[in-house]
Amino acid sequence: MVMNRIGILGAMPEEINGIVLLLKDRKELVKGMRTYYLGTINGVEVVVVFSRWGKVASATTVTHLMVEFGITQLYFTGVAGSVSPDLAVGDIVVASSLVQHDMDARPIMKQFEIPLLGKTELFPPKELLEKSFHKVKKLESAKELLQLISLKQREMFFISNPKVFLGKIASGDKFFANNGEKENLLRLLPDVLCVEMEGAAVAQVCFEYGIPFVVIRTISDAANESSSVDFKEFVGQVASKFGVAIIQALLKE
């Protein structure tokens, strides 16, 4: 096993493209309908790959990173829909914990509990989480994220001053498309900040293999029917740039 090799997952193909451009001595390996990009960033060995969508696909991808490439740590970036009124498009959430909102094996076990693990939520290692949050938070204080996008893009996506939050992320094989669905989720999990489709599954695999991980999401929409943001445009023009900046910050000594 490599002494230190970091896996970098992106939740959208557009999000990993910019990260791949950072790689030195880049190599590509195609397996299982996935393209893995190997190289170094700031002298650190990394493997970059698109997670693919949903819990099963992303869990398969991260398992392959561990077994085939021997990663010793994982960073997962991507977009998410906000369920908290405190979040705006362009804000960033660093996951302090992750829960699978569609896990429900009642009455055998309580809602959200992961079978055989006896846990309803999973937590990144405290030291790695604190270091990662501190590094990403610096992007906010220095207004580096805002500088990555043009005035036109800020106006198009209603971004004024991206903020970085620490909080719970919920994952499941479901796209939230209206306020009713959000409200139902918040009744059950009132402290969730945002929703996506992969992070908690990836966290489970990392937990089972003993691999330190951090999940970071950029808010792309309000996860309801009134979103005025063009999702694909946002990913290509904003989230992809934020993802590159986040990974560069994380890989700085």
86 as an active site residue: the answer is no
How wide is the angle at C-alpha 41 spanned by C-alphas 36 and 45, nearest 5°? 60
Amino acid at 70: G
221 as an active site residue: the answer is yes
Give which of 153, 176, 10, 163 is closest to 82, Cα–Cα.
176
Provide the 8-state DSSP code for 122. B
Give the separation between CA 147 and CA 212, rounded to whole angstroms. Answer: 31
Give the separation between CA 153 and CA 96, rounded to whole angstroms. Answer: 29
Q: H or E stretch including 203?
A: helix 199-209
Q: Which of 121, 196, 198, 221 is catalytic?
A: 221
Token pair listed for 144: 């580096």
- Rounded to a whole number, what is the distance in angstroms from the first to the last CA of the chain? 22
Backbone angles phi, psi at 203, to 5 degrees: -60, -40
Provide the 8-state DSSP code for 113. P
Give the separation between CA 76 and CA 168, rounded to whole angstroms. Answer: 15
- Is 199 within 8 Å of 94 (Cβ atoms)? no
Q: Which of 15, 45, 113, 196 is catalytic?
A: 15
Q: Is 44 exposed, middle or buried (0-12, 13-18, 19+ CB in 10 A)?
A: middle
Q: Point out the residues that are catalytic.
A: 15, 221
